[in-house]
Structure 1
Amino acid sequence: MDYVLSFFEKKERKSAFILIYAAFAVTFWAYLPYSERLFTLQEDGSVAMTQLIENGASLTTAERLWNLFQTSPQIWGAFLLFGLIPMGIVRFLFREKLSDYGLTLGLWRRTRNLILMTAPLFALTVWLAGPDPAYLQTYPYSPWLLGGFTSFTDGWPFLCAYFGIYLFFYYLSWEFFFRGFVQIGTESTVGYANAVLLGTLISTMAHFGPHAFLETLGAIAGGILWGFFVYRTRSIYAGWLTHATLGIMLDLILLNGFMPR
Protein backbone atom coordinates (compact mmCIF):
# COMPACT_ATOMS: atom_id res chain seq x y z
CA MET A 1 0.00 0.00 0.00
CA ASP A 2 3.00 2.30 0.28
CA TYR A 3 2.84 3.29 -3.35
CA VAL A 4 -0.84 4.18 -2.93
CA LEU A 5 -0.21 6.22 0.19
CA SER A 6 2.74 8.02 -1.42
CA PHE A 7 0.33 9.37 -4.03
CA PHE A 8 -1.26 11.41 -1.26
CA GLU A 9 1.94 12.60 0.40
CA LYS A 10 2.02 16.35 0.82
CA LYS A 11 5.06 16.86 -1.42
CA GLU A 12 3.31 14.97 -4.23
CA ARG A 13 -0.19 16.32 -3.73
CA LYS A 14 0.05 19.57 -5.66
CA SER A 15 1.76 18.05 -8.70
CA ALA A 16 -0.74 15.19 -8.78
CA PHE A 17 -3.64 17.64 -8.67
CA ILE A 18 -2.11 19.78 -11.44
CA LEU A 19 -1.61 16.81 -13.74
CA ILE A 20 -5.08 15.40 -13.12
CA TYR A 21 -6.62 18.79 -13.86
CA ALA A 22 -4.42 19.13 -16.97
CA ALA A 23 -5.68 15.80 -18.31
CA PHE A 24 -9.31 16.89 -17.99
CA ALA A 25 -8.72 20.46 -19.23
CA VAL A 26 -6.86 19.42 -22.38
CA THR A 27 -9.44 16.73 -23.14
CA PHE A 28 -12.38 19.11 -22.81
CA TRP A 29 -10.61 21.77 -24.88
CA ALA A 30 -9.57 19.34 -27.62
CA TYR A 31 -13.17 18.20 -28.08
CA LEU A 32 -14.68 21.67 -28.39
CA PRO A 33 -16.52 21.91 -31.72
CA TYR A 34 -14.89 23.94 -34.47
CA SER A 35 -16.82 26.69 -36.21
CA GLU A 36 -17.31 26.71 -39.94
CA ARG A 37 -13.96 27.22 -41.63
CA LEU A 38 -13.27 30.51 -43.39
CA PHE A 39 -11.55 28.63 -46.20
CA THR A 40 -12.40 25.18 -47.55
CA LEU A 41 -10.17 22.93 -49.61
CA GLN A 42 -11.90 21.76 -52.79
CA GLU A 43 -11.57 18.31 -54.40
CA ASP A 44 -9.44 19.77 -57.18
CA GLY A 45 -6.99 21.17 -54.63
CA SER A 46 -8.17 24.76 -54.92
CA VAL A 47 -9.22 26.85 -51.92
CA ALA A 48 -12.60 28.58 -51.67
CA MET A 49 -13.60 31.28 -49.21
CA THR A 50 -16.79 30.50 -47.31
CA GLN A 51 -19.75 32.80 -47.97
CA LEU A 52 -20.67 33.64 -44.39
CA ILE A 53 -23.61 35.92 -45.10
CA GLU A 54 -25.80 36.76 -48.05
CA ASN A 55 -26.35 40.40 -47.20
CA GLY A 56 -23.40 41.45 -45.09
CA ALA A 57 -24.05 45.15 -45.48
CA SER A 58 -27.17 44.87 -43.32
CA LEU A 59 -25.28 43.70 -40.23
CA THR A 60 -24.40 46.17 -37.50
CA THR A 61 -20.97 46.37 -35.92
CA ALA A 62 -22.39 44.82 -32.74
CA GLU A 63 -23.77 41.87 -34.73
CA ARG A 64 -20.45 41.35 -36.43
CA LEU A 65 -18.61 41.41 -33.08
CA TRP A 66 -21.14 38.97 -31.62
CA ASN A 67 -20.55 36.60 -34.53
CA LEU A 68 -16.82 36.92 -33.92
CA PHE A 69 -17.35 36.09 -30.24
CA GLN A 70 -19.61 33.09 -30.68
CA THR A 71 -17.55 31.47 -33.43
CA SER A 72 -14.34 31.36 -31.36
CA PRO A 73 -14.91 28.42 -28.95
CA GLN A 74 -11.23 27.42 -28.97
CA ILE A 75 -10.26 30.89 -27.76
CA TRP A 76 -12.88 31.18 -25.02
CA GLY A 77 -12.41 27.55 -24.03
CA ALA A 78 -8.68 28.18 -23.58
CA PHE A 79 -9.41 31.32 -21.57
CA LEU A 80 -11.63 29.37 -19.18
CA LEU A 81 -9.83 26.01 -18.97
CA PHE A 82 -6.23 27.18 -19.33
CA GLY A 83 -6.53 30.66 -17.83
CA LEU A 84 -9.28 31.50 -15.36
CA ILE A 85 -9.67 28.13 -13.64
CA PRO A 86 -5.92 27.43 -13.16
CA MET A 87 -5.40 30.99 -11.94
CA GLY A 88 -8.21 30.47 -9.46
CA ILE A 89 -6.63 27.21 -8.33
CA VAL A 90 -3.29 28.92 -7.74
CA ARG A 91 -4.78 31.85 -5.81
CA PHE A 92 -7.54 30.20 -3.79
CA LEU A 93 -6.62 26.51 -3.51
CA PHE A 94 -2.83 26.63 -3.44
CA ARG A 95 -2.87 30.12 -1.89
CA GLU A 96 0.13 31.17 -3.93
CA LYS A 97 0.96 34.19 -6.07
CA LEU A 98 0.36 34.19 -9.81
CA SER A 99 3.78 35.78 -10.18
CA ASP A 100 5.27 32.56 -8.80
CA TYR A 101 3.77 30.81 -11.84
CA GLY A 102 5.34 33.06 -14.45
CA LEU A 103 2.99 36.06 -14.55
CA THR A 104 5.88 38.41 -13.93
CA LEU A 105 8.71 39.97 -15.90
CA GLY A 106 11.08 37.75 -13.95
CA LEU A 107 14.64 38.30 -15.13
CA TRP A 108 13.42 41.00 -17.46
CA ARG A 109 16.62 41.54 -19.45
CA ARG A 110 16.66 37.88 -20.42
CA THR A 111 12.95 38.09 -21.25
CA ARG A 112 13.53 41.14 -23.45
CA ASN A 113 16.52 39.61 -25.23
CA LEU A 114 14.74 36.33 -25.94
CA ILE A 115 11.75 38.17 -27.41
CA LEU A 116 13.94 40.39 -29.59
CA MET A 117 15.98 37.43 -30.82
CA THR A 118 13.22 34.93 -31.52
CA ALA A 119 9.99 36.79 -32.38
CA PRO A 120 11.36 38.18 -35.70
CA LEU A 121 12.78 34.74 -36.50
CA PHE A 122 9.39 33.07 -36.01
CA ALA A 123 7.65 35.72 -38.12
CA LEU A 124 10.22 35.34 -40.90
CA THR A 125 9.94 31.54 -40.83
CA VAL A 126 6.15 31.62 -41.27
CA TRP A 127 6.42 34.23 -44.03
CA LEU A 128 9.02 32.21 -45.95
CA ALA A 129 6.97 29.03 -45.60
CA GLY A 130 3.99 30.76 -47.20
CA PRO A 131 0.31 29.79 -47.03
CA ASP A 132 -0.12 26.03 -46.56
CA PRO A 133 -3.61 24.56 -47.17
CA ALA A 134 -2.91 21.95 -44.47
CA TYR A 135 -3.51 24.61 -41.82
CA LEU A 136 -6.94 25.59 -43.13
CA GLN A 137 -8.67 22.77 -41.22
CA THR A 138 -7.78 24.60 -38.01
CA TYR A 139 -6.95 28.25 -38.68
CA PRO A 140 -8.14 30.92 -38.44
CA TYR A 141 -10.13 29.81 -35.39
CA SER A 142 -13.04 32.13 -36.22
CA PRO A 143 -14.41 32.64 -39.75
CA TRP A 144 -15.58 36.08 -38.59
CA LEU A 145 -12.15 37.53 -37.85
CA LEU A 146 -12.76 40.04 -40.67
CA GLY A 147 -16.28 40.77 -39.44
CA GLY A 148 -17.80 38.93 -42.40
CA PHE A 149 -16.07 41.16 -44.95
CA THR A 150 -13.95 39.72 -47.74
CA SER A 151 -11.23 42.36 -47.82
CA PHE A 152 -8.63 43.77 -45.47
CA THR A 153 -9.83 47.28 -46.30
CA ASP A 154 -13.30 46.71 -44.84
CA GLY A 155 -12.43 44.14 -42.20
CA TRP A 156 -9.25 45.47 -40.59
CA PRO A 157 -10.97 46.87 -37.42
CA PHE A 158 -12.41 43.42 -36.71
CA LEU A 159 -9.09 41.78 -37.52
CA CYS A 160 -7.37 44.02 -34.94
CA ALA A 161 -10.05 43.17 -32.37
CA TYR A 162 -9.66 39.47 -33.13
CA PHE A 163 -5.89 39.54 -32.79
CA GLY A 164 -6.19 41.45 -29.50
CA ILE A 165 -8.55 38.76 -28.19
CA TYR A 166 -6.26 36.06 -29.58
CA LEU A 167 -3.20 37.57 -27.90
CA PHE A 168 -4.60 38.12 -24.42
CA PHE A 169 -7.38 35.57 -24.00
CA TYR A 170 -5.91 32.65 -25.93
CA TYR A 171 -2.13 32.84 -25.99
CA LEU A 172 -1.66 34.26 -22.49
CA SER A 173 -3.96 31.55 -21.09
CA TRP A 174 -2.16 28.87 -23.11
CA GLU A 175 1.30 29.88 -21.90
CA PHE A 176 0.18 30.34 -18.31
CA PHE A 177 -1.31 26.86 -18.29
CA PHE A 178 1.42 24.80 -19.97
CA ARG A 179 4.50 26.76 -18.97
CA GLY A 180 3.28 28.26 -15.69
CA PHE A 181 0.67 26.04 -14.06
CA VAL A 182 2.00 22.69 -15.32
CA GLN A 183 5.72 23.35 -15.69
CA ILE A 184 6.45 25.63 -12.75
CA GLY A 185 3.83 23.88 -10.64
CA THR A 186 5.57 20.49 -10.95
CA GLU A 187 9.21 21.63 -10.85
CA SER A 188 9.67 20.99 -7.15
CA THR A 189 8.54 17.38 -7.58
CA VAL A 190 10.01 16.25 -10.91
CA GLY A 191 12.86 18.72 -11.47
CA TYR A 192 13.36 21.47 -14.04
CA ALA A 193 14.04 19.37 -17.14
CA ASN A 194 11.22 16.90 -16.53
CA ALA A 195 8.81 19.75 -15.78
CA VAL A 196 9.64 21.26 -19.19
CA LEU A 197 9.04 17.88 -20.80
CA LEU A 198 5.75 17.39 -18.95
CA GLY A 199 4.50 20.74 -20.22
CA THR A 200 5.71 19.84 -23.70
CA LEU A 201 4.03 16.44 -23.65
CA ILE A 202 0.66 17.81 -22.56
CA SER A 203 0.73 20.80 -24.93
CA THR A 204 1.63 18.49 -27.82
CA MET A 205 -1.37 16.30 -26.96
CA ALA A 206 -3.54 19.42 -27.26
CA HIS A 207 -2.54 19.54 -30.94
CA PHE A 208 -3.86 16.07 -31.73
CA GLY A 209 -6.88 16.03 -34.03
CA PRO A 210 -7.46 18.57 -36.81
CA HIS A 211 -4.08 20.27 -36.45
CA ALA A 212 -1.59 19.72 -39.27
CA PHE A 213 0.97 16.96 -38.65
CA LEU A 214 3.92 19.34 -39.04
CA GLU A 215 2.34 21.74 -36.56
CA THR A 216 2.02 18.94 -34.01
CA LEU A 217 5.67 18.00 -34.53
CA GLY A 218 6.55 21.66 -34.16
CA ALA A 219 4.67 21.74 -30.86
CA ILE A 220 7.31 19.39 -29.44
CA ALA A 221 10.17 21.71 -30.37
CA GLY A 222 8.17 24.78 -29.36
CA GLY A 223 7.21 23.30 -26.01
CA ILE A 224 10.83 22.57 -25.15
CA LEU A 225 11.98 25.99 -26.35
CA TRP A 226 9.30 27.98 -24.52
CA GLY A 227 9.74 25.80 -21.45
CA PHE A 228 13.44 26.62 -21.49
CA PHE A 229 12.55 30.31 -21.76
CA VAL A 230 10.58 29.99 -18.51
CA TYR A 231 13.47 28.18 -16.85
CA ARG A 232 15.86 30.96 -17.88
CA THR A 233 13.63 33.95 -17.12
CA ARG A 234 11.14 32.70 -14.47
CA SER A 235 8.50 34.38 -16.64
CA ILE A 236 6.04 33.18 -19.29
CA TYR A 237 6.16 36.47 -21.19
CA ALA A 238 8.92 35.58 -23.67
CA GLY A 239 7.12 32.39 -24.68
CA TRP A 240 3.76 34.18 -24.73
CA LEU A 241 4.82 36.93 -27.12
CA THR A 242 6.89 34.72 -29.43
CA HIS A 243 4.18 32.04 -29.58
CA ALA A 244 1.57 34.71 -30.31
CA THR A 245 3.79 36.19 -33.02
CA LEU A 246 3.91 32.78 -34.68
CA GLY A 247 0.12 32.26 -34.51
CA ILE A 248 -0.90 35.75 -35.60
CA MET A 249 1.59 35.72 -38.46
CA LEU A 250 0.20 32.36 -39.60
CA ASP A 251 -3.34 33.77 -39.74
CA LEU A 252 -2.14 36.79 -41.71
CA ILE A 253 -0.27 34.59 -44.18
CA LEU A 254 -3.35 32.39 -44.67
CA LEU A 255 -5.59 35.41 -45.19
CA ASN A 256 -3.19 37.03 -47.61
CA GLY A 257 -2.61 33.81 -49.51
CA PHE A 258 -6.16 32.54 -49.92
CA MET A 259 -8.48 35.57 -49.90
CA PRO A 260 -9.88 36.40 -53.35
CA ARG A 261 -8.17 39.28 -55.11
Structure 2
Amino acid sequence: MSGQELGSNAPPSESSPALQPEARAPVGGLWGEIRDALSGIHIPGALAATVSTVALIVSHHHGNTGSYRRAFGGLIGGQMGEVAPYLYWFGASVALYLLLPLFAAALTPGLKVRQTGIGLGDWRTGLAATAAVLLVFLPIVFVASRMPAFAGHYPLCSGARKAWSLFLVYELAYAAYFVAWEYMYRGYLLFSLEKSMGKMAVFAQMMPFAIIHFGKPEAETFGAIIAGIFLGLLALRTRSFWYGAIIHIAVAVTMDLLTAWGPLTRLSQG
Protein backbone atom coordinates (compact mmCIF):
# COMPACT_ATOMS: atom_id res chain seq x y z
CA MET A 1 0.00 0.00 0.00
CA SER A 2 1.41 3.41 -0.94
CA GLY A 3 2.39 6.09 1.56
CA GLN A 4 -0.26 8.40 0.14
CA GLU A 5 -2.90 5.76 0.79
CA LEU A 6 -1.65 5.39 4.38
CA GLY A 7 -1.65 9.18 4.82
CA SER A 8 1.80 9.11 6.45
CA ASN A 9 3.85 11.14 3.95
CA ALA A 10 1.11 12.76 1.83
CA PRO A 11 1.53 16.52 1.32
CA PRO A 12 -1.50 18.55 2.33
CA SER A 13 -3.86 19.11 -0.55
CA GLU A 14 -4.68 22.60 -1.85
CA SER A 15 -8.07 22.31 -0.21
CA SER A 16 -6.55 21.61 3.18
CA PRO A 17 -8.01 23.95 5.86
CA ALA A 18 -4.47 24.69 7.03
CA LEU A 19 -3.82 26.70 3.85
CA GLN A 20 -7.20 28.43 3.62
CA PRO A 21 -7.54 32.08 4.78
CA GLU A 22 -10.82 31.24 6.47
CA ALA A 23 -9.04 28.86 8.83
CA ARG A 24 -6.55 31.44 10.07
CA ALA A 25 -7.11 33.43 13.21
CA PRO A 26 -9.56 36.16 12.20
CA VAL A 27 -8.02 38.88 14.36
CA GLY A 28 -5.57 40.22 11.78
CA GLY A 29 -8.16 40.19 9.02
CA LEU A 30 -10.72 41.93 11.20
CA TRP A 31 -8.32 44.70 12.20
CA GLY A 32 -7.31 45.06 8.58
CA GLU A 33 -10.92 45.55 7.60
CA ILE A 34 -11.37 48.09 10.39
CA ARG A 35 -8.28 50.00 9.23
CA ASP A 36 -9.54 49.98 5.65
CA ALA A 37 -12.95 51.23 6.76
CA LEU A 38 -11.50 54.00 8.92
CA SER A 39 -9.11 55.11 6.19
CA GLY A 40 -12.08 56.02 4.01
CA ILE A 41 -13.85 58.12 6.63
CA HIS A 42 -14.20 61.86 6.03
CA ILE A 43 -12.70 63.27 9.23
CA PRO A 44 -14.63 66.60 9.46
CA GLY A 45 -17.97 64.87 8.94
CA ALA A 46 -17.19 62.06 11.37
CA LEU A 47 -16.04 64.47 14.07
CA ALA A 48 -19.04 66.75 13.56
CA ALA A 49 -21.45 63.83 13.90
CA THR A 50 -19.63 62.68 17.05
CA VAL A 51 -19.38 66.12 18.65
CA SER A 52 -23.03 66.88 17.92
CA THR A 53 -24.12 63.57 19.43
CA VAL A 54 -22.00 64.16 22.54
CA ALA A 55 -23.52 67.65 22.87
CA LEU A 56 -27.04 66.22 22.70
CA ILE A 57 -26.28 63.54 25.30
CA VAL A 58 -24.67 66.00 27.73
CA SER A 59 -27.54 68.43 27.22
CA HIS A 60 -30.10 65.71 27.89
CA HIS A 61 -28.48 64.66 31.17
CA HIS A 62 -26.93 67.88 32.48
CA GLY A 63 -28.08 70.88 30.45
CA ASN A 64 -31.82 71.22 31.02
CA THR A 65 -34.24 72.66 33.54
CA GLY A 66 -34.36 69.41 35.51
CA SER A 67 -30.57 69.46 35.83
CA TYR A 68 -30.74 72.98 37.25
CA ARG A 69 -33.38 72.03 39.81
CA ARG A 70 -31.42 68.98 40.93
CA ALA A 71 -28.17 70.92 41.27
CA PHE A 72 -29.34 74.28 42.55
CA GLY A 73 -32.89 73.79 43.78
CA GLY A 74 -34.23 76.99 45.29
CA LEU A 75 -30.98 78.94 45.02
CA ILE A 76 -32.87 81.84 43.43
CA GLY A 77 -36.28 82.67 44.83
CA GLY A 78 -39.23 84.76 43.75
CA GLN A 79 -40.41 85.18 40.19
CA MET A 80 -36.84 85.13 38.88
CA GLY A 81 -36.51 81.69 40.41
CA GLU A 82 -39.14 80.47 37.96
CA VAL A 83 -37.13 81.76 35.01
CA ALA A 84 -33.68 80.72 36.28
CA PRO A 85 -33.94 77.03 35.24
CA TYR A 86 -34.66 78.12 31.66
CA LEU A 87 -31.78 80.58 31.65
CA TYR A 88 -29.55 77.71 32.77
CA TRP A 89 -30.92 75.49 29.99
CA PHE A 90 -30.43 78.14 27.31
CA GLY A 91 -26.96 79.01 28.61
CA ALA A 92 -25.90 75.36 28.62
CA SER A 93 -27.22 75.05 25.06
CA VAL A 94 -25.12 78.00 23.93
CA ALA A 95 -22.06 76.32 25.43
CA LEU A 96 -22.82 72.88 23.96
CA TYR A 97 -24.39 73.78 20.60
CA LEU A 98 -22.42 76.89 19.69
CA LEU A 99 -19.16 77.24 21.61
CA LEU A 100 -18.25 73.54 21.58
CA PRO A 101 -18.83 73.12 17.80
CA LEU A 102 -16.91 76.35 17.08
CA PHE A 103 -13.99 75.06 19.15
CA ALA A 104 -14.17 71.64 17.48
CA ALA A 105 -14.32 73.18 14.00
CA ALA A 106 -11.26 75.30 14.74
CA LEU A 107 -9.28 72.17 15.69
CA THR A 108 -10.55 69.83 12.95
CA PRO A 109 -8.05 69.02 10.17
CA GLY A 110 -9.42 69.94 6.77
CA LEU A 111 -12.13 72.24 8.16
CA LYS A 112 -12.16 75.97 8.81
CA VAL A 113 -14.68 77.78 10.98
CA ARG A 114 -15.66 80.05 8.10
CA GLN A 115 -16.66 76.94 6.14
CA THR A 116 -19.37 76.08 8.67
CA GLY A 117 -21.85 78.76 7.60
CA ILE A 118 -20.83 81.27 10.24
CA GLY A 119 -20.82 84.22 7.82
CA LEU A 120 -23.76 85.97 6.15
CA GLY A 121 -23.16 84.25 2.80
CA ASP A 122 -25.60 85.23 0.05
CA TRP A 123 -27.43 87.77 2.17
CA ARG A 124 -29.73 89.01 -0.58
CA THR A 125 -31.16 85.54 -1.15
CA GLY A 126 -31.17 84.88 2.58
CA LEU A 127 -33.13 87.98 3.51
CA ALA A 128 -35.59 87.53 0.64
CA ALA A 129 -36.24 83.91 1.64
CA THR A 130 -36.57 84.87 5.30
CA ALA A 131 -39.13 87.57 4.51
CA ALA A 132 -41.12 85.21 2.28
CA VAL A 133 -41.18 82.45 4.89
CA LEU A 134 -42.26 84.77 7.68
CA LEU A 135 -44.96 86.28 5.48
CA VAL A 136 -46.43 82.80 5.12
CA PHE A 137 -45.80 81.38 8.58
CA LEU A 138 -46.52 84.23 10.98
CA PRO A 139 -50.26 84.14 10.15
CA ILE A 140 -50.15 80.38 10.76
CA VAL A 141 -48.47 81.04 14.11
CA PHE A 142 -51.25 83.49 14.96
CA VAL A 143 -53.90 80.83 14.30
CA ALA A 144 -51.93 78.12 16.14
CA SER A 145 -51.51 80.34 19.20
CA ARG A 146 -55.29 80.15 19.69
CA MET A 147 -55.21 76.35 19.82
CA PRO A 148 -55.13 74.80 23.32
CA ALA A 149 -52.17 72.54 22.46
CA PHE A 150 -50.01 75.59 21.73
CA ALA A 151 -51.58 78.13 24.10
CA GLY A 152 -51.02 75.77 27.03
CA HIS A 153 -47.45 74.92 26.01
CA TYR A 154 -45.88 78.32 25.26
CA PRO A 155 -44.03 80.11 26.67
CA LEU A 156 -42.22 77.06 28.00
CA CYS A 157 -41.55 79.02 31.18
CA SER A 158 -44.80 79.98 32.89
CA GLY A 159 -42.90 82.60 34.88
CA ALA A 160 -42.36 84.57 31.68
CA ARG A 161 -46.09 85.36 31.75
CA LYS A 162 -45.86 87.20 35.07
CA ALA A 163 -43.95 90.37 34.20
CA TRP A 164 -42.76 92.10 31.05
CA SER A 165 -39.22 92.32 32.45
CA LEU A 166 -39.12 88.55 32.98
CA PHE A 167 -40.60 87.98 29.54
CA LEU A 168 -37.88 90.13 27.95
CA VAL A 169 -35.02 88.39 29.79
CA TYR A 170 -36.47 85.00 28.94
CA GLU A 171 -36.94 85.80 25.24
CA LEU A 172 -33.42 87.20 24.84
CA ALA A 173 -32.01 83.98 26.28
CA TYR A 174 -34.44 81.99 24.12
CA ALA A 175 -33.15 83.78 21.02
CA ALA A 176 -29.55 82.93 21.95
CA TYR A 177 -30.63 79.31 22.36
CA PHE A 178 -31.98 79.25 18.79
CA VAL A 179 -28.79 80.77 17.41
CA ALA A 180 -26.84 77.95 19.07
CA TRP A 181 -29.34 75.33 17.96
CA GLU A 182 -29.28 76.48 14.34
CA TYR A 183 -25.49 76.67 14.25
CA MET A 184 -25.07 73.09 15.40
CA TYR A 185 -27.55 71.66 12.89
CA ARG A 186 -27.54 74.04 9.92
CA GLY A 187 -23.98 75.22 10.41
CA TYR A 188 -21.41 72.91 11.93
CA LEU A 189 -23.09 69.54 11.26
CA LEU A 190 -24.55 70.35 7.84
CA PHE A 191 -21.46 71.88 6.26
CA SER A 192 -19.10 69.32 7.82
CA LEU A 193 -21.16 66.50 6.30
CA GLU A 194 -21.70 68.22 2.96
CA LYS A 195 -18.26 67.41 1.53
CA SER A 196 -18.78 63.67 1.92
CA MET A 197 -22.57 63.41 1.59
CA GLY A 198 -23.54 66.28 -0.68
CA LYS A 199 -27.16 67.37 -0.29
CA MET A 200 -27.93 64.19 1.63
CA ALA A 201 -26.39 66.07 4.55
CA VAL A 202 -29.67 68.00 4.68
CA PHE A 203 -31.53 64.82 5.59
CA ALA A 204 -28.82 63.65 7.96
CA GLN A 205 -29.13 66.79 10.08
CA MET A 206 -32.93 66.75 9.83
CA MET A 207 -33.25 63.47 11.75
CA PRO A 208 -31.79 64.53 15.13
CA PHE A 209 -33.42 67.94 14.70
CA ALA A 210 -36.88 66.34 14.43
CA ILE A 211 -36.19 63.88 17.24
CA ILE A 212 -35.38 66.60 19.78
CA HIS A 213 -38.87 67.99 19.21
CA PHE A 214 -40.26 64.97 21.08
CA GLY A 215 -42.43 66.26 23.91
CA LYS A 216 -43.68 69.23 21.92
CA PRO A 217 -47.13 69.35 20.27
CA GLU A 218 -47.48 66.56 17.70
CA ALA A 219 -48.15 68.93 14.81
CA GLU A 220 -44.97 70.84 15.60
CA THR A 221 -42.93 67.63 15.81
CA PHE A 222 -44.06 66.48 12.37
CA GLY A 223 -43.52 70.01 11.09
CA ALA A 224 -39.91 69.79 12.26
CA ILE A 225 -39.26 67.29 9.45
CA ILE A 226 -40.31 69.79 6.80
CA ALA A 227 -38.66 72.69 8.61
CA GLY A 228 -35.41 70.76 9.02
CA ILE A 229 -35.25 69.98 5.31
CA PHE A 230 -36.18 73.49 4.21
CA LEU A 231 -33.81 75.24 6.60
CA GLY A 232 -31.02 72.86 5.61
CA LEU A 233 -31.53 73.63 1.91
CA LEU A 234 -31.69 77.35 2.69
CA ALA A 235 -28.40 77.14 4.59
CA LEU A 236 -26.72 75.32 1.69
CA ARG A 237 -28.07 77.82 -0.83
CA THR A 238 -26.97 80.88 1.13
CA ARG A 239 -23.88 79.25 2.73
CA SER A 240 -25.06 80.56 6.09
CA PHE A 241 -27.03 79.30 9.08
CA TRP A 242 -28.14 82.79 10.12
CA TYR A 243 -31.32 82.96 8.05
CA GLY A 244 -32.66 79.80 9.62
CA ALA A 245 -31.85 81.28 13.02
CA ILE A 246 -33.76 84.48 12.19
CA ILE A 247 -36.78 82.47 11.03
CA HIS A 248 -36.70 80.24 14.09
CA ILE A 249 -36.38 83.17 16.50
CA ALA A 250 -39.14 85.16 14.82
CA VAL A 251 -41.58 82.24 14.86
CA ALA A 252 -40.77 81.21 18.46
CA VAL A 253 -40.85 84.71 19.95
CA THR A 254 -44.06 85.55 18.08
CA MET A 255 -45.72 82.40 19.43
CA ASP A 256 -44.64 83.28 22.97
CA LEU A 257 -45.78 86.87 22.63
CA LEU A 258 -49.22 85.88 21.32
CA THR A 259 -49.81 83.25 24.01
CA ALA A 260 -48.49 85.45 26.85
CA TRP A 261 -50.03 88.73 25.70
CA GLY A 262 -53.29 88.30 27.61
CA PRO A 263 -51.78 87.43 31.00
CA LEU A 264 -49.07 90.08 30.69
CA THR A 265 -51.43 92.90 29.76
CA ARG A 266 -53.87 91.98 32.52
CA LEU A 267 -51.06 92.02 35.08
CA SER A 268 -49.72 95.35 33.88
CA GLN A 269 -53.19 96.89 33.99
CA GLY A 270 -53.90 95.47 37.42
TM-score band, normalised by shorter chain:
0.7 to 0.9
Q: Find 2:243's aligned residue among 206, 223, 238.
A: 238
Equivalent position amino acid for 2:193 in 1 = T
Residues matched between the structures, number: 225
From the superposition, tell whether residues 162 and 12 of structure 1 become closer, same or farther in structure 2 (CA, over 3 Å): same
Report the counterpart of residue 256 of structure 1 in structure 2: 261
Report the counterpart of residue 130 of structure 1 in structure 2: 145
2:81 paired with 1:75: no
2:165 paired with 1:157: yes
From the superposition, tell whether residues 97 and 66 of structure 1 become closer, same or farther in structure 2 (CA, over 3 Å): farther
CA–CA distance in structure 2, aligned partners of residues 84 and 27 of structure 1: 16
CA–CA distance in structure 2, aligned partners of residues 79 and 230 of structure 1: 20
CA–CA distance in structure 1, aligned partners of residues 218 and 264 of structure 2: 24
Q: Which has the higher contact order (CA 8 A, sep 6+)?
A: 1
From the superposition, tell whether residues 141 and 16 of structure 1 become closer, same or farther in structure 2 (CA, over 3 Å): same
Q: CA deviation at 1:157?
A: 3.0
2:114 paired with 1:106: no
Output the TM-score relative to the length of structure 1: 0.75
Q: CA deviation at 1:143?
A: 3.1
Q: Find 1:202's aligned residue among 205, 208, 211.
A: 208
Q: Find 1:228's aligned residue among 227, 233, 236.
A: 233
From the superposition, tell whether residues 189 and 195 of structure 1 become closer, same or farther in structure 2 (CA, over 3 Å): same
Match of 2:158, SS state, is coil
Q: CA deviation at 1:200?
A: 0.5
CA–CA distance in structure 2, aligned partners of residues 211 and 98 of structure 1: 32
Report the counterpart of residue 87 of structure 1 in structure 2: 102
Q: CA deviation at 1:251?
A: 1.2
Report the counterpart of residue 39 of structure 1 in structure 2: none
Match of 1:139, SS state, is coil
From the superposition, tell whether residues 257 and 67 of structure 1 become closer, same or farther in structure 2 (CA, over 3 Å): closer
Higher-Rg member (1/2): 2
Match of 1:72, SS state, is helix
Q: CA deviation at 1:189?
A: 0.9
Percentage of pairs with the same residue: 22
Structure 1 alignment gaps of length 5 or more: 36-58, 150-154
Moved more, 21-30 or 110-119: 21-30
CA–CA distance in structure 2, aligned partners of residues 137 and 73 of structure 1: 22
Displaced runs of 4 or more, over 6 A = none
Q: Find 2:174's aligned residue among 159, 166, 171.
A: 166
Equivalent position amino acid for 1:190 in 2 = M
Higher helix share: 2
Moved more, 123-132 or 107-116: 123-132
Q: Find 1:23's aligned residue among 53, 56, 63.
A: 53
For the aligned residue pairs, the C-alpha RMSD in angstroms reads: 2.7
Structure 2 alignment gaps of length 5 or more: 1-29, 67-76
Q: Find 1:140's aligned residue among 155, 159, 164.
A: 155
Give deviations 1:168-195, integer Å, cap 9, x for gaps. x201101100011111110011112x10
Report the counterpart of residue 23 of structure 2 in structure 1: none
Report the counterpart of residue 72 of structure 2 in structure 1: none
Match of 1:26, SS state, is helix
Equivalent position amino acid for 2:47 in 1 = F
* Contact 1:132 1:254 (C-alpha < 8 Å) held by counterparts: no
CA–CA distance in structure 2, aligned partners of residues 77 and 218 of structure 1: 25
Report the counterpart of residue 178 of structure 1 in structure 2: 185
CA–CA distance in structure 1, aligned partners of residues 35 and 262 of structure 2: 57
CA–CA distance in structure 2, aligned partners of residues 139 and 127 of structure 1: 13
CA–CA distance in structure 2, aligned partners of residues 112 and 178 of structure 1: 20
Output the TM-score relative to the length of structure 2: 0.73
